[in-house]
Amino acid sequence: MNKRQTKRMKRNAAKAPRWLRDGAAAVFDPQGARAHRTAKLGTFGAASEVRHIDPAEYKPAGAA
C-alpha cells in the first residue's frame, strides 16, 4: 500500500460510526470467553455429576 492509500484508508475509517469502530478495535479473546462461559454456566461435560444421575432412581421432591 502506498502512502496515499494509507492516508485515505485512515480518513475513511475515522468517518465510520462509533459502534463499528469499537467492534473493529475490540480484541477477540476466545480463552477469556470460554472462561467466562464456564464460570457462568458451570461444566456439564461427560465427567459431570449431572450426567451420572440415573433417571430410574431419581424421585421428584414432591413424590413420597
In a domain, 30, yes or no: yes
User: Is 7's pLDDT higher than 80?
Assistant: yes
CB 12 within 8 A of CB 20: no
The chain-wide mean pLDDT, for the chain, equals 76
The answer to the question of residue 59 being in a domain is no
Q: What's the pLDDT at 59? A: 72
**Residue 62 located in a structural domain:** no
Query: What does the pLDDT look like over 12-42, one tens digit per residue?
Result: 888 888 888 777 777 777 777 777 777 776 6
Contact residues for 24 (Cβ-Cβ < 8 A; gap 6+): 16
Count of domains for the chain: 1
Per-residue pLDDT, 43 = 62
Residue 23 inside a domain? The answer is yes
Domain of 19, in residue numbers:
3-52
pLDDT exceeds 90 at position 62: no
pLDDT in the model for residue 47: 62
